[in-house]
Structure 1
Amino acid sequence: MVVMSSEEFAPPKYAQIVQTIRQKIADGTYPPGSLLPSETQLVRDFKVSRPTVVRALQVLQLRGIIEREHGKGSFVKATPPGASNQSPRPGRAILDRVEADENSAIIEAGPVAASAAVAKLLDVPEGSTVVRRRVLFRDDERPTDLFTVWCPVHQTEGTLLAEAEPLPAGIREHLRESRGLKLQHVVERLSARHPSADEAKLLEIRKSAPVIGVLASVFNGGGRPALVVDLVLPGDLHELEDSYSL
């Protein structure tokens, strides 16, 4: 009989950080609106690498528990009246992630012809030129998510979206600063599915493994589509939860 150690059943390091921070939020150590310890402090406290800490903070942001502000830090979200927590906002979370602050690799960045599906979501003619940016994020152990964004080419002029270098700010902030473009509304659809062959290869998972797909249409202040976002999350690393009153 093979005897397995308790370490083989232990959750990943980033998940342990998530659990600890959630517990401290629940017991009032980190009250709503408070600033969490810096990434450097968390690295020292948990004795892990910075990518592991960043991954944990991204998961907390994805679940709607914290907000991350570039250059300022991570803040515990205030709980709205009548709800014990805010709903997860995967689309918004990915738009606010800073590639340069994470362990990211630019898989692709540049102009492509819009497919029928992307053209429909962006309300542009099929085959028209759009900029596609594809980024793979990972922690110490493995790839954690694959992010793709499509944007009409005229809206990327003066931006770094077509450049194969990590963005120094989240896409939402980058578009606001470089183009004056304000993203104000997101419609997102979540699905459980199997990965494509390309996704499975990049995420280093089996083709039969489940993934969570998040497809988001992002609109500007005038109600026009500005971006299409596709986020692929390995099912064994992510869970999306919600909490609300009846």
Structure 2
Amino acid sequence: MVVMSSEEYAPPKYAQIVQTIRRKIADGTYPPGSLLPSETQLVREFGVSRPTVVRALQVLQLRGVIEREHGKGSFVKAAPPVTQEANTRPGRAVLDRVESDENGSVIDAGTVIADASAAKLLDVPEGSPVVRRRILFHDAERPADLVTLWCPANVAEGTQLALTEPLAVGIRQHLQAAKGLKLQHVVERLSARHPSADEARALEVPKSSAVLGVLASIFNGGGRPVLVVDLVLPGDLHELEDAYSL
């Protein structure tokens, strides 16, 4: 039997920051309403890169633990909720991630012809033009997750989804600002699998490794699918956490 060291089980650095800050909130080090240390202070405290700190803060924000105010900093919420299960869902979280803040690089973006799978998910005829956007996010040490986004060409028209520059706001905010489009709900499917050859190359993992695949269909208020997000997470870097009332 091979004995693994505790270091080999250590979570990624952004997750360690999340755990530490939540622990300090719980023990009163950071009481409700208090201002967390600045990003620069957290970079120095944890010895990590700024994108790693930003990612940790965004995770805390998505989980409803803190509020982030531009130009002011991050504040502990007065009553951190434990029942907002939607905030922990990976499909929803992708819509609010800021590519330029999270060390995201756009692998490719542009108009392609929808194959049968993409056409079915978007409810458009096979062969229709769709915009595909692929973004690779890194933590301080390695690729952390791969996001592929499909959007009907008419929905993407007038947006920056087909451009190769990282977005400076989340996809949901960008679509609302550019098109007045409000995303209403998400249908999410999770699967444990091996990566494809392209995914293994992008994520720098062996083809025999385990990844978590999240396929999310995002609908507008009229019940039409307007986005499909395919999120690939290396199994050794990620775990999913959820909280909900009974």
TM-score, with structure 1 as normaliser: 0.86
- Give the C-alpha shift of residue 181 in structure 1: 0.7
CA distance in 2, matches of 1:79, 1:67: 8
The alignment yields a C-alpha RMSD, in angstroms, of 2.6
- Give the C-alpha shift of residue 242 in structure 1: 2.2
Judged with a 3 Å threshold, the aligned counterparts in structure 2 of structure 1 residues 115 and 32 are, in CA distance, closer, same or farther, namely: farther
Corresponding residue number in structure 2 for 1:172: 172
Judged with a 3 Å threshold, the aligned counterparts in structure 2 of structure 1 residues 27 and 170 are, in CA distance, closer, same or farther, namely: same
CA distance in 2, matches of 1:13, 1:226: 34
What code does the residue aligned with 1:229 have?
V
Corresponding residue number in structure 2 for 1:105: 105
Matched, 1:86 2:89: no
Q: Which ranges of structure 2 fall in alignment gaps of 5 or more residues? A: none
Matched, 1:200 2:231: no
Partner SS state of residue 209, structure 2: coil
Corresponding residue number in structure 1 for 2:70: 71
Contact 2:175 2:182 survives alignment (8 Å): yes
Equivalent residue runs for 1:115-126 within 5 Å: 115-126=115-126
CA distance in 2, matches of 1:214, 1:136: 15
Count of aligned pairs between the two proteins: 240
Partner SS state of residue 118, structure 2: helix
Partner SS state of residue 44, structure 1: helix
CA distance in 2, matches of 1:76, 1:132: 37
Corresponding residue number in structure 2 for 1:17: 17
Corresponding residue number in structure 2 for 1:96: 96
Judged with a 3 Å threshold, the aligned counterparts in structure 2 of structure 1 residues 139 and 232 are, in CA distance, closer, same or farther, namely: same
- Give the C-alpha shift of residue 99 in structure 1: 0.8
Judged with a 3 Å threshold, the aligned counterparts in structure 2 of structure 1 residues 214 and 5 are, in CA distance, closer, same or farther, namely: closer
Corresponding residue number in structure 1 for 2:27: 27
Equivalent residue runs for 1:43-54 within 5 Å: 43-54=43-54
TM-score, with structure 2 as normaliser: 0.86
CA distance in 1, matches of 2:67, 2:93: 9
Contact 1:61 1:93 survives alignment (8 Å): no
Contact 1:65 1:85 survives alignment (8 Å): no
Contact 1:122 1:152 survives alignment (8 Å): yes
Judged with a 3 Å threshold, the aligned counterparts in structure 2 of structure 1 residues 184 and 245 are, in CA distance, closer, same or farther, namely: closer
Partner SS state of residue 133, structure 1: strand
What code does the residue aligned with 2:199 have?
E
Contact 1:65 1:76 survives alignment (8 Å): no
After superposing the two structures, state which structure 1 stretch, 214-223 or 18-27, moved more.
18-27
Partner SS state of residue 100, structure 1: coil
CA distance in 1, matches of 2:93, 2:123: 24
Contact 1:79 1:86 survives alignment (8 Å): no
CA distance in 1, matches of 2:124, 2:6: 54
CA distance in 2, matches of 1:220, 1:144: 29
Contact 1:51 1:103 survives alignment (8 Å): yes
After superposing the two structures, state which structure 1 stretch, 5-14 or 162-171, moved more.
5-14
After superposing the two structures, state which structure 1 stretch, 90-99 or 15-24, moved more.
15-24
Contact 1:51 1:102 survives alignment (8 Å): yes
What code does the residue aligned with 2:84 have?
Q
- Give the C-alpha shift of residue 208 in structure 1: 1.1
- Give the C-alpha shift of residue 127 in structure 1: 1.0
Tell me the alpha carbon deviations over residues 136-188 of structure 1, each in whole angstroms, 9 at most, x when there is no partner.
00012100000011000011111110001001111100011011111111111
